[in-house]
Structure 1
């Protein structure tokens, strides 16, 4: 096995791992009895529930970061104009998928009364921007990425009038936690992922992709990854402990050691703060450094999911929601319970759900169900050359 293959496999292993863990969070949303409440609220959570949510925090930033690395590696096989155009087209394709396909899988609502814009929405726009800036220069991508990554929380200290066009644009693209936009009386667009902080993650991943070029020394790359990750994690500890820069809200003191510990770890994902990136991407980079030469059964299983992440991501929503429908009727619910006015997901009334251990069993079953389709699709991609496969 060549060095190049080892490098790519380490990315697939980590990407597969975060895809599997990600399914836990979405399974909890649909199947846990309190799935619609905030599992990281120090005043209303439990240790198992808190850490079930915390571990899934690692998924989105790691996936976006690895998407940046993959974009860099893919661009090395194309001329700059071709690579730029591909990223832009794939970005627009992802926007369509988020709106038309993933929203339907999440809601099972064919009338699209609630359109949900999440991580694929942010990745799509980030790829469009990456396609534009990478056409200009690699260095520009790196500089803009670092500014967004480390600097976007400066806006926490600036009062922005969101009633003006510029203020509204800044809030929409950089600072909003979530925005709900009514479209007439019957439809709402929920923008849950703001764009540019995630763009910064992808751009930094693209810049670090150079460390994976064939000419780059393997030992040096692993050292760079480890110490970059360690530095990010230490920055989280320092910034969080002293309530310094890097999170919209400072730490709180509850007068209870466990609640204080929960609050210490409860940093902003929406939008992703620098402290959030420190606690998530820091360990992810260190892990990426450590698994480069891993060869075991677990790694091979994770690679199955990691080599077809987009296919897995879209499919897992439909599998989860189909099982929800089965459990919905098996639990005695009927047609009158399909729509809950307070929840955008059909067949998921507020009173539906199970205890956390059962949620974990359902999650493992869902991951197992998805294994064979992922194996099939991976083989299909390797033996077929249709143009559309490049977008999946």
Structure 2
């Protein structure tokens, strides 16, 4: 098998997994704009939710760790045609670009109002941006030090769960940014920290470390991803079952099997707990091994989305937001809660009937609609080498 063929197959497996993560992410954002009441505000609150609503929210946890891990692998791929200095510059500028967009265009898309100026958020793009900036320095370190940093941030950060921001007094904001979600007030601006940053840097660094694995022969790299993924998965189950370590929220048996399962799976995402990361990254790695083979035409849409994930991300938010506003205006003649940052609580008594139906219909529609512009942009990226294209 030629090196060119190996390169093509390697990228197809990565693109398909990345595309799957983007499609699953879109389901969560469809819920943000089309769901009401507890489906929007408390989908994992066992006192309010049900299995259908819980799983609709829970499955979307797969997206963030998978995408950030693959971003680390992508950074390694970029190193093959750049010097270390050029790679660091690429990571730094991409990171700054993502943070800028989170605080401007994407912030506006989430609220369609000036609220984004006064209530910016440290969301997923911000977290990826900071991780990229951190990687612009980390890549200069020996691999064993990168491994230490990555594993410490992933496996060790839950040791600090008992530390509260107020313990740092005037520097409380640092702990909010690194470990504990919360709000940081800067004059009239309320910075909403949703994605604390430290564990995500570890996840991206881990992806960078796994980059060389993708250069192995297919049989060997499949074994590495399947074995590592299964190991992560088993460790997460063992830690969770015994409530040993790795998640500040313990699970407990409930009177029904349904609620016991939900309690067990109700991992902490903000910040991402060790169990959350191991369970979901383990699943992603096993999928990587399974997808690393010739696939049929069914995988084409996922591959397209995986080739242009940022382009898909930028378009899907305003598309879903406009759709949510249109439906709310049609049904209630009111969409006021969809013009706030963060999105507001829906007025009492509002209902679409079966609450999940609009979410799933909007999700499927958005994915179908965005396939065609995504395919166009993927073709543009493949045919042109303009510098700005690499930032989308």
Q: Distance in 2 between matches of 1:330 and 1:349?
A: 15
Q: Distance in 1 between matches of 2:162 and 2:276?
A: 18
In structure 1, what is the equivalent of residue 207 of structure 2?
205
Q: Distance in 1 between matches of 2:390 and 2:142?
A: 24
Deviations 1:147-186 (A, max 9, x none): 11111111125567534356652x224320x21233445x
Deviates more, 1:26-35 or 1:83-92: 26-35
The correspondence for 2:146, drawn from 120, 133, 141, is 141
In structure 1, what is the equivalent of residue 234 of structure 2?
234
Deviations 1:262-308 (A, max 9, x none): 11100100000111012211111001011111321221110011100
Deviations 1:93-119 (A, max 9, x none): 110011101111111113524222211
In structure 1, what is the equivalent of residue 83 of structure 2?
79
In structure 1, what is the equivalent of residue 121 of structure 2?
116
Matched, 1:61 2:65: yes
- Cα 1:242/1:382, change in 2 over 3 Å: same
TM-score by length of 2: 0.92
The correspondence for 1:98, drawn from 93, 102, 114, is 102
Q: Distance in 1 between matches of 2:348 and 2:122?
A: 22
In structure 2, what is the equivalent of residue 338 of structure 1?
336
Q: Distance in 2 between matches of 1:155 and 1:163?
A: 13
TM-score by length of 1: 0.92
Q: Distance in 1 between matches of 2:257 and 2:309?
A: 39
The correspondence for 2:40, drawn from 36, 40, 48, is 36
- Cα 1:358/1:40, change in 2 over 3 Å: same
Q: Distance in 2 between matches of 1:52 and 1:332?
A: 24
Which residues in structure 2 correspond to 1:310-329 (within 5 Å)? 310-329=310-329
* 1:180 alignment partner, SS class: strand
Which runs of 5 or more residues in structure 2 are unaligned?
Answer: none
Which residues in structure 2 correspond to 1:1-392 (within 5 Å)? 2-34=5-37, 35-112=39-116, 113-157=118-162, 161-164=166-169, 168-169=173-174, 171-176=175-180, 178-185=181-188, 187-213=189-215, 216-334=216-334, 338=336, 344-345=342-343, 354=352, 355-392=355-392
Q: Distance in 1 between matches of 2:338 and 2:221?
A: 51
Give the drift of 1:345: 3.2
- Cα 1:338/1:358, change in 2 over 3 Å: closer
* 1:294 alignment partner, SS class: coil
Deviates more, 1:139-148 or 1:315-324: 139-148
Tell me if the contact between 1:232 and 1:278 (Cα under 8 Å) persists in the aligned partners. Answer: yes
Tell me if the contact between 1:324 and 1:347 (Cα under 8 Å) persists in the aligned partners. Answer: no
The count of corresponding residues between Structure 1 and Structure 2 is: 385
Which segments of structure 1 move beyond 4 Å, counting only runs of 4 or more? Answer: 157-161, 165-168, 339-343, 346-353
- Cα 1:265/1:55, change in 2 over 3 Å: same
Q: Distance in 1 between matches of 2:171 and 2:142?
A: 27
Q: Distance in 2 between matches of 1:270 and 1:86?
A: 28
Q: Distance in 2 between matches of 1:358 and 1:82?
A: 46
Tell me if the contact between 1:31 and 1:353 (Cα under 8 Å) persists in the aligned partners. Answer: no
* RMSD across aligned positions (CA): 2.2
Tell me if the contact between 1:232 and 1:281 (Cα under 8 Å) persists in the aligned partners. Answer: yes
Tell me if the contact between 2:76 and 2:208 (Cα under 8 Å) persists in the aligned partners. Answer: yes
- Cα 1:106/1:249, change in 2 over 3 Å: same
Q: Distance in 1 between matches of 2:253 and 2:68?
A: 33
Give the drift of 1:37: 1.7
Give the drift of 1:347: 11
* 1:190 alignment partner, SS class: strand
